């Protein structure tokens, strides 16, 4: 695949009014979601649930891509149509989560490093054959007493850069996700400082590994107070500080930025995105790559009556996609 192809895919991922749905939960994570609504976590139920999401009518109007899990990219509809074909027919780009999750960072108590670089080149080659057009790797940055350390930030930035270089080698657009967690009592100013330091380290590492920014997408967390902080910022403050942080640390060459919801409510995630898109002269499109904020309402509906509520659940997925698509244009009215 040529450099121009990578640029085209990256730009398609952040097309105006479109964003990405994240359905890349590991089996352990989807089990927690299913347990919360009383659904048995069998392979068939996981397949059926993801079929419901991916075949929602008109989804491609507001969704440019979907991040899949290893199991999901190999699955098909009840009628035997591969999910990747269903997505291609709907104009939705298949993506794939390729990291192996987090582990304790040795020597740095309370901090995490993402694993999965071993054997990644071969796995990316296989995923490209299976139809993936982009990939995702998530790093996790905790805020707490005396953390994050520079060691944690630098180690995760280095891993993200190595992953991104391998993706582009295999013709896949890398989505780099350095998530600054909302867990904690920290205020929004602390989140700003940590997010800026993390992004600066990330883009330095990407440059050092010769990653082409024009064929890369950033999946960012918003600058927001810790969920246990007594003082929660207003929507306008979250938007202002997030945009300010991004302008200070993200090169304009990047094709676009998508946000994770990170534990925000559905409406909060949409409102914050909409407020950011009120700013003029942004150097990149700001869109969404939401998981729970796209799925939670639909999951509850589907779980209550898998066959009887099927169409209603799909309509809910579409409505969430539409709301966030409007927010990506700054046109959501709440």
- 280 noted as active-site residue: no
Catalytic residue among 25, 111, 177, 196: 177
Closest CA to 172 of 139, 127, 229, 214: 127
- 208 noted as active-site residue: no
| Pairwise CA distance, residues 133 & 23, whole Å | 15
**Residues facing 95 on adjacent strands:** 67, 134
Q: Is 27 helix (H, G, I), strand (E, B) or coil?
A: helix
Catalytic residue among 219, 267, 312, 333: 219
CA dist 106 to 74, 184, 215, 327, Å? Answer: 34, 22, 33, 41
CB atoms within 10 A of CB 281: 5
Q: Is 177 helix (H, G, I), strand (E, B) or coil?
A: strand
* Burial class, 301, CB count within 10 angstroms (exposed 0-12 / middle 13-18 / buried 19+): buried
Q: At what angle do helices 292-304 and 43-54 cross, to 10 degrees?
A: 120
Q: Which residues are catalytic?
A: 177, 219
């Amino acid at each position: 695949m040529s450099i121009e192809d990578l640029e085209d895919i990256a730009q398609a991922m952040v097309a105006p009014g479109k964003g990405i749905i994240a359905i890349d939960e590991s089996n352990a994570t989807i089990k927690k979601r299913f347990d919360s609504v009383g659904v048995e976590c069998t392979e068939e139920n996981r397949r059926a649930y993801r079929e419901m999401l991916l075949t929602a009518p008109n989804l491609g109007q507001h969704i440019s891509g979907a991040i899949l899990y290893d199991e999901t990219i190999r699955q098909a509809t009840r009628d035997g149509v591969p999910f990747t074909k269903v997505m291609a027919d709907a104009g939705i780009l298949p993506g794939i989560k390729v990291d192996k999750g987090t582990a304790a960072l040795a020597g740095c108590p309370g901090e995490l490093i993402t694993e999965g670089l071993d054997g990644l080149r071969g796995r990316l080659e296989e995923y490209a054959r299976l139809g993936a057009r982009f990939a995702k790797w998530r790093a996790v940055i905790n805020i707490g007493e005396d953390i994050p350390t520079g060691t944690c930030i630098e180690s995760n930035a280095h891993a993200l850069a190595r992953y991104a270089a391998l993706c582009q080698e295999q013709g896949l657009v890398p989505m780099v996700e350095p998530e600054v967690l909302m867990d904690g009592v920290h205020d929004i100013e602390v989140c700003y400082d940590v997010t800026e330091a993390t992004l600066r380290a990330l883009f330095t590492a990407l440059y050092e590994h010769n990653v082409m920014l024009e064929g890369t997408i950033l999946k960012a967390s918003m600058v927001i107070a810790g969920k246990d902080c007594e003082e929660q910022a207003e929507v306008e403050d979250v938007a202002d500080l997030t945009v300010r942080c991004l302008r200070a640390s993200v090169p304009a060459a990047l094709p676009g930025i998508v946000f994770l919801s990170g534990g925000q409510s559905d409406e909060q995630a949409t409102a914050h995105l909409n407020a950011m898109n009120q700013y003029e002269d942004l150097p990149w499109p700001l869109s969404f790559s939401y998981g729970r904020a796209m799925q939670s309402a639909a999951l509850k509906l589907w779980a209550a009556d898998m066959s009887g509520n099927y169409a209603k659940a799909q309509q809910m997925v579409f409505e969430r996609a539409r709301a966030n698509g409007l927010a990506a244009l700054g046109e959501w009215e709440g």
